[in-house]
Amino acid sequence: MSAFRKTRWPVAALSGAVAAVLMSAVLPAAPTARAAAPSKPSVPARYVQQHLNWQPCAAKPSLECARMTVPRDWHHPGAGADLTVEVSRHRAADPARRRGVLMMAAGGPGASGLTRPADFAARSPAVGAVYDVVGFDQRGIGRSTPAQCQTDAEFEDFYAHDFRDRSPAALRGVLDRSRRLVAGCLRHSGDLVPWLTTDQAVRDMDLFRALLGVRKISYYGPSYATWLGAYYATVFPGRIERAVLDSNLDFSGTWQEAEGGQPRSFQRRFEQDFLPWIARNDATYHYGRTAAEAKARWEARRRALRDHPLTVGALTIGPNQLDNATIQNIYNAHRQFPQLASALSTLDRWPSATPAERALVAKLFEHYLSPGFAAAFFSVTCNDTPWRRDIGYWLDRSAKDTAAHPLVGARELAYAATCAAWPVPAAPRFRVTGRGLPTTLMLNSVHDPATYYEGARAAHRALRGSRLVTVTGGGDHGQYQNGNACVDGIVDAYLLGGAAPDRDVSCAAGPPPVPSGRG
């Protein structure tokens, strides 16, 4: 479909006079190879001449925060009500050696990036000493103008039931809930979500750069922020000094293609990394001496929760909640494998579990995304690139993925049906090439569940001149500042001195995590 078909969003009126004298755009749109670029807009002076009023951040007083005003639609900057983007700054600890600005962004799409510069600078003090590390909540998220699609109860209902149930009634329920989610976006945020796109976000980023008074930035972004960073570098290649893309989505293709590989990669991480690990530690967790035994035990627990869900306070733990907790806790082996294993062990001996153990299970199971995260996630992934709208296709494909890769494949229909019901997006298409960029570092582990290695390699091929640092023997999501001295050394040398490897390199993953918790 055309990337510039008129959207069918029933939005609020977009008329309104420009409030200031128009000036030549400081944020010109770069042409794309997949569609003609929008005509270069004029940017009202009230955006480019605003001043950031830095104050201590409420949530992280060690940071400074400010509020930036941005147009709703950068391609028509005089139309519609303004949005706000909350930005943050961690000043260089050694001003005498300050070398510039390092902008960082969050993953998702849907995660908050506002307070991340503080932890980033603390974990890499040499980098924090010489860079002003800056971050932001992307439009639609957190303290920026937020999007809303669902109430808490509607969000809980979206993940209730059993995604593996392929009965006609269950499939109708999945499709109905996906359509209701889209209707909720229209009802609550119909004048906002059409402009929650990566294309719009990168222009917010460049306004932030301009208001910071720098000609170029360095960049660090994990997960979805690799997609965001690659798009920024495509639109504004002359404004990138150094860039690190950590745990890469395949930003050379579409969201449908990128998410289409996740059922296999999450199943691979679960079956080839987590289950063998918990089996090797059977003396602690008593969950089976082989990966096959541990998998059979996990599947038995899922069946039991389907027939008899557990109630812990206000939380109901059913089969989808077991999936959710497992999905969420296989991203990082050292931080998450032991807590997931302890929770699974506790579920197996629930009647004798202590109140403290039950509380830990509840804590692990109750935090899976949020309505705000989902609003931003679906807005960006459904808006950015086209999705196939043939529900018959998705019914057939999801049936196959549910059978072969059930951990994530079972929820494929719910996610795809949401984007299939989404109004036709109007975002321009991008073709990432690396043209005009300095050497870019790309980091990825071979068993990353969410940003799988095959997609990272495709993105690496598209981003000409990049260097791929492959972490072998592991599957963590997020490689920099993850305790791997090899990776950290390469990234630090690059950010601090501009020294990039002259070819693709590999680093070995660290040792497996030590078991913890009661068996």
- Residue whose C-alpha is closest to residue 118's, from 205, 206, 68, 59: 59
List Cβ neighbours of 292 (8 Å cut-off, separation of 6 or more): none
pLDDT per residue as tens digits for the range 135-171: 999 999 999 999 999 999 999 999 999 999 999 999 9
pLDDT at position 41:
57
Percent residues over pLDDT 90 in the chain:
88
- Rounded mean pLDDT of 214-231? 98
pLDDT at position 367:
82
pLDDT per residue as tens digits for the range 31-88: 333 333 444 556 789 999 999 999 999 999 999 999 999 999 999 998 889 999 999 9
The CA-to-CA distance between both ends of the chain, in Å, stands at 55
pLDDT at position 518:
58
- Rounded mean pLDDT of 105-118? 98
pLDDT at position 516:
85
Q: For 122-131, 362-371, 393-402, which range has the lowest pLDDT when averaged over its residues?
A: 362-371
Contact 479, 471 (CB under 8 A): yes
pLDDT at position 27:
45
- Rounded mean pLDDT of 208-229? 98
Residue 1 has pLDDT above 80, yes or no: no
- Rounded mean pLDDT of 109-124? 98
Report the mean per-residue pLDDT for the chain: 92
- Rounded mean pLDDT of 273-285? 98
The helix (H) or strand (E) run that includes residue 290 is none
Spell out the domain ranges in the chain: 26-147+200-214, 152-191+369-420, 262-365
pLDDT-derived band at 13 (thresholds 50, 70, 90) equals very low
pLDDT per residue as tens digits for the range 289-327: 999 999 999 999 999 999 999 999 889 999 999 999 999
pLDDT at position 82:
97
Residue 9 has pLDDT above 50, yes or no: no
- Residue whose C-alpha is closest to residue 194's, from 371, 10, 34, 70: 10
- Rounded mean pLDDT of 276-282? 98
- Rounded mean pLDDT of 493-498? 98
pLDDT at position 517:
62
pTM of the model: 0.92
pLDDT per residue as tens digits for the range 122-135: 999 999 999 999 99
pLDDT at position 233:
98
- Rounded mean pLDDT of 448-475? 98
Residue 25 has pLDDT above 90, yes or no: no
Q: What are the DSSP E strand ranges found in 176-296?
A: 217-223, 240-248
Per the DSSP assignment, residues forming a β-bridge with 240 are 217
pLDDT at position 19:
28
The burial of 235, by beta-carbon neighbours within 10 Å (0-12 exposed, 13-18 middle, 19 or more buried), is given as buried
- Rounded mean pLDDT of 379-401? 98
What is the distance between the alpha carbons of residues 59 and 515, in angstroms, rounded to a whole number?
33
pLDDT at position 472:
98
Buried b or exposed e, range 93-118, using 16+ CB within 10 angstroms: beeeeebbbbbbbbbbbbbbbbbbbb
Q: What is the DSSP string of 28-85?
A: PPPP-SSSPPPPPPPEEHHHHT-----EE-SS-TTSEEEEEEE-S-TTSTTSS--EEE
Percent residues over pLDDT 70 in the chain:
91
- Rounded mean pLDDT of 231-242? 98
- Residue whose C-alpha is closest to residue 518's, from 339, 285, 287, 276: 285
198-211 and 371-384 helices, crossing angle to 10° = 100
